[in-house]
A and B are shown apart, each in its own frame.
Chain A
Amino acid sequence: MPMHESIFDASRYRYLWVSLTLSLLAIVLYVWHDPIGVPNGGSWLGYTLGTIGALLILWLMWFGIRKRSYSSRMGTLRGWLSAHVYLGTTLILIAFLHSGFQLGWNIHTLALILMLCVIFSGFFGVYAYVRYPAMMTRNRDSATRQSLLDEIVDLDAQALGLADAVDPKVHAVVLRSIERTQIGGGFQKLMRPDTETDNALDQVKLFMEQREKGAQPGPKKEMSTMFAMVDFLSAGSADNKADALRKLLDVLARKRSLTGRITRDLQLQALMEAWLYVHIPLSFGLLAALSAHVISVFFYW
């Protein structure tokens, strides 16, 4: 047994071979088959492929139940998922050969469209499961999500202290960004990165630029003696302010990077889940359309 099995190579690609064999068999029969008129679902091959397709759909949907029955000993879940993916893909071919590539504005084609939507949303799921876990691990950089969140709380407290030492205006800006920063929430919030910290960072930088312009040596010469005195006396505190401002910028930048990583983390996880919110409801729509398809065909046959 290999060291690591993915859903693709489970049991040495057993289900890939099963699917390829099934596909090849269907193609050979389709080419060999010579029905009355055009190839269609009503020939013996049409009925055969239709039955195989319908049973496959029921079995593929059974995966939702198998997934939850942790005590089941009927094969590994990975094996089931592997078969689910490969046989689900084969279903596209089976369905088109079943209908003889005929389409129309009817519930039969509706069933086909729903089936294709389910399968293609499943393809996205496969892509997400293959690609996103590694991206998430890299993004988190060996930290847990909770430790990242805790660090943000600490950074907020630090930022407030530093901002207070700089200027009430800066303090208000930082306060605002802390109040408005939101991580997670609804579907849209999970998908969108936080911009509040960026805003705060921009405003603090702007403040710093303005302050540096104001501190240019030029106007100093024209200052009256008294103002020069005040300026001199406050020079020490001005040093402290500049120091605090630099630190504040560091803290905000750190926070920005943290919120960025967390939102990316949430985004990837949401994408890994989101397709299921399409895949599963459409599967049930397909189940209804499939039932209507089968019943209507035998109702007026």
Chain B
Amino acid sequence: MRWQILRVTQQAKAGSSVEEDIHFGDTLTIGRGADQAIYLPDLRAALSHCAVTVTGKGRYHVKSLIVAGVRVNGQIVQDADVGAGAVIELGGTRLTLIAPPRDYDGAVEITPMAASEVEDNAQRFIGKLTLSETRLSKRWPSWILFLGVGFFALLLPLLAHYVPAGRPVLDKLPIGSRDTWQAGSLASAHHFFGENCTMCHDGGFATVKDSACKTCHANVGAHADEKRFALGTLGDADCAHCHRDHNGLEALVRADQELCADCHRDLPAREKNANKQLDAADFGTHHPGFMVNLPAWNVDGQFTPIRTALASSDLTENSGLNFPHDLHLAAEGIRGPDGDEVLKCETCHQPEPGGARLRPIDFEANCQRCHRLTYSIREADRQVTHGKPALMKAEIEEFFAREALEGGFNDVNAPTVVRIRRRPGQPITPQERAEALSWSRQQAGQAIDNLFNSNACTYCHTVKTDQLGNLDVAPVRVSGLWFPKARFSHRMHDSMKCEDCHKARESDRSTQVLMPDIDNCRQCHAGEHADDKVPSTCITCHGYHEPRLDLNAQGLPELR
């Protein structure tokens, strides 16, 4: 192999000059040793630093002979296949492998480096010394994060709102759906349309309108009559004033005391003309006594209860019934058909299936076992139907008429026609018939008078006789709902005894009202901020929406 070695030397003034040399051998060895093909007197080169072999036309293989490697084209390598133009740097010398001229197999040009370049290379080990010199940047990650978050958190949800066609896809995205805008879980009843924001929110940048709520909640009553009250004080009857969704499963319904106290603290002063409500702001300290619906009838006989303060000293109930509680609840018992019986409250007052209220007292179920409506000694099991005076009288009259006409009545004072036993089919003369019926009318009249005036009815009822002498029973009705404006559940008060609230054992007249007043409740209940009692807010007992006031209508029908 023939190697052409060109040594370029820098002249001080006349530029450079080139010395040509020829080397024979398979490899071109380079190093500081005297035996090297290219001898470099430089401590930064090893004695035998590297070897170059020809691998083809203008192709070379550079191999480092020491562990330090050799810098080829700026990179430190142990082995490298390179083409013409490759530069080997060794200490202060640059060796350029060039395309061999004709008749040569390989060629190399040796150039000394400038002093400044050698000095620079000595500092080559110094890289970038601060982070700001490196490729790290604060600017483009900032842009990526800003635009990325903006795209997914703002742009995609907005797109879903304004392009309904895209919603099926956009709303299902794991990130970037309108779901990610939800500030909190919806109330449980609203979960079924929770992903469809536009069910409640129709436009952008607008609060939820009442009409959106009323689409489903059409039967909700208003709070008060709009015609009579200035509803502006109720927050324009804005549903969202009290109902705020997106706060988790609870808390859709406002339950705090201030909900009501805001207005009811001085409602009588503000609503002088329309309002009959008293001041109320805290059940424990600022609440009027209870009002009850006292049974009453108007001139036409219709039941029109009177709303009265329970605390009135002259309060008497007028249910039309005489009933002494004390007698029935006597500790030693009361005479019953099977001997003395000790009655308890629940003997008669049975709870309704829900347990909140008690079933109305029913004569057949609760009274008739003892108070039998019998009218004939001979047929002691025969009773009249309770509650229908005309029917009762007819039943008795029919009974005696049949006895008279059938005959065989064993009474010396009775006419003969009534006494003789008549065979079936045996004819009766008109005179006999008149005589028999006259007797039976008299008997029936006695029995009715006995039943109504002496024996049975007057026990409990007021019996009246009109101008024509007809007997009738005064109308009867207990209140049924004493507190129609409030909720009370007997079941919730299971742990209490009846007499804790109702003084029935001491009541000897049915005109006594046994409903407990507010002081009774206040033994256990107090306002929202009570420490030592059951904290009770207004809506513990009272509802807000009046069921009979239609939210969609303008005022009550009778007031329109």
* B69 touches which of A176, A277, A291 (Cβ 8 Å): A176
Question: Is the beta-carbon distance between B197 and A277 smaller than 8 angstroms?
Answer: no
Q: Given A38-B247, A108-B183, are A296 and B154 neighbors across the interface (CB < 8 Å)?
A: yes
Residues of A within 8 A of B394 (CB): none
Question: Is the beta-carbon distance between A176 and B207 smaller than 8 angstroms?
Answer: no
Question: Is the beta-carbon distance between A187 and B184 smaller than 8 angstroms?
Answer: no
Residues of B within 8 A of A28 (CB): none
Question: Is the beta-carbon distance between A270 and B180 smaller than 8 angstroms?
Answer: no
Q: Given A37-B250, A107-B180, A153-B123, are A291 and B154 neighbors across the interface (CB < 8 Å)?
A: yes
CB within 8 Å of B: which A84-120 residues: 102, 104-108, 110, 114
Residues of B within 8 A of A285 (CB): 142, 145-146, 148-149
Question: Is the beta-carbon distance between B44 and A298 smaller than 8 angstroms?
Answer: no
- Closest residue of chain A to B47 (Cβ to Cβ) is A168
Q: Given A190-B131, A281-B142, A292-B150, are A181 and B125 neighbors across the interface (CB < 8 Å)?
A: yes
Stretch at the interface among B133-141, B396-404, B426-434, B473-481: B133-141
* A171 touches which of B46, B125, B127, B148 (Cβ 8 Å): B46
Complex CA distance for A145 and B265, rounded to whole angstroms: 78
B335, CB-defined interface residue at 8 Å:
no
B279, CB-defined interface residue at 8 Å:
no
Question: Is the beta-carbon distance between A280 and B138 smaller than 8 angstroms?
Answer: yes
Question: Is the beta-carbon distance between A34 and B43 smaller than 8 angstroms?
Answer: no
Stretch at the interface among A156-164, A204-212, A213-221: A156-164
Residues of B within 8 A of A173 (CB): 67-68
Question: Is the beta-carbon distance between A288 and B153 smaller than 8 angstroms?
Answer: yes
Complex CA distance for A293 and B153, rounded to whole angstroms: 8
Q: How many chain-A residues does the 8 Å CB contact rule pick out?
A: 69
Complex CA distance for A157 and B154, rounded to whole angstroms: 62
Contact with B along A267-299 (1 / 0, CB 8 A): 001100110110011111101110111011111
Q: Given A42-B183, A285-B148, are A273 and B130 neighbors across the interface (CB < 8 Å)?
A: yes
Complex CA distance for A25 and B293, rounded to whole angstroms: 51
Residues of A within 8 A of B218 (CB): none
Complex CA distance for A282 and B143, rounded to whole angstroms: 10
Q: Given A36-B242, A176-B67, A292-B153, are A183 and B181 neighbors across the interface (CB < 8 Å)?
A: no
Q: How far is the CB of A110 from chain B (nearest CB, A)?
A: 7
Q: Given A105-B180, A281-B145, are A36 and B256 neighbors across the interface (CB < 8 Å)?
A: yes
Question: Is the beta-carbon distance between A176 and B185 smaller than 8 angstroms?
Answer: no
Q: Given A34-B256, A281-B141, are A184 and B127 neighbors across the interface (CB < 8 Å)?
A: yes
Contact with A along B233-259 (1 / 0, CB 8 A): 000000000101011101110101010
B71, CB-defined interface residue at 8 Å:
yes
Complex CA distance for A292 and B122, rounded to whole angstroms: 54
Residues of A within 8 A of B76 (CB): 179-180
CB within 8 Å of B: which A227-244 residues: none
B464, CB-defined interface residue at 8 Å:
no
B128, CB-defined interface residue at 8 Å:
yes
Residues of A within 8 A of B182 (CB): 104, 106
Residues of A within 8 A of B67 (CB): 172-173, 176
Question: Is the beta-carbon distance between B244 and A42 smaller than 8 angstroms?
Answer: yes
Residues of B within 8 A of A181 (CB): 125
Contact with B along A25-69 (1 / 0, CB 8 A): 000000000101110111000000000000000000000000000
* A176 touches which of B68, B125, B148 (Cβ 8 Å): B68
* A104 touches which of B48, B68, B147, B184 (Cβ 8 Å): B184
A81, CB-defined interface residue at 8 Å:
no
Contact with B along A164-198 (1 / 0, CB 8 A): 10001001110111111111111101100000000
Q: Given A37-B254, A105-B180, A107-B181, are A184 and B129 neighbors across the interface (CB < 8 Å)?
A: yes
- Closest residue of chain B to A159 (Cβ to Cβ) is B43
Q: How far is the CB of A150 from chain B (nearest CB, A)?
A: 9
- Closest residue of chain B to A289 (Cβ to Cβ) is B149
Question: Is the beta-carbon distance between B126 and A183 smaller than 8 angstroms?
Answer: yes
B214, CB-defined interface residue at 8 Å:
no
Q: Given A104-B184, A281-B138, are A295 and B154 neighbors across the interface (CB < 8 Å)?
A: yes
A149, CB-defined interface residue at 8 Å:
yes
B15, CB-defined interface residue at 8 Å:
no
B192, CB-defined interface residue at 8 Å:
no
- Closest residue of chain A to B181 (Cβ to Cβ) is A296
B204, CB-defined interface residue at 8 Å:
yes
Question: Is the beta-carbon distance between B250 and A171 smaller than 8 angstroms?
Answer: no
Q: How far is the CB of B153 from chain A (nearest CB, A)?
A: 4
Q: How far is the CB of A282 from chain B (nearest CB, A)?
A: 7
B284, CB-defined interface residue at 8 Å:
no
Question: Is the beta-carbon distance between A179 and B138 smaller than 8 angstroms?
Answer: no
B132, CB-defined interface residue at 8 Å:
yes
6 A-B pairs with C-beta separation under 8 A? A102-B247, A168-B48, A190-B128, A190-B130, A292-B153, A300-B204
Q: Using CB atoms and an 8 Å cutoff, list the residues of chain A in contact with chain B.
A: 34, 36-38, 40-42, 102, 104-108, 110, 114, 145, 149, 152-153, 156-157, 160-161, 164, 168, 171-173, 175-187, 189-190, 266, 269-270, 273-274, 276-277, 280-285, 287-289, 291-293, 295-301
Contacts A153-B123, A190-B134 aside, 20 further interface pairs with beta carbons under 8 A come to A37-B247, A37-B252, A38-B248, A42-B244, A156-B122, A172-B46, A172-B66, A172-B67, A184-B127, A184-B129, A190-B129, A190-B130, A266-B129, A274-B131, A281-B144, A288-B154, A291-B154, A292-B149, A295-B154, A296-B181
- In order of increasing CB-CB distance, the 8 nearest A-B pairs are A37-B251, A185-B127, A285-B145, A176-B68, A184-B127, A292-B153, A172-B66, A281-B141
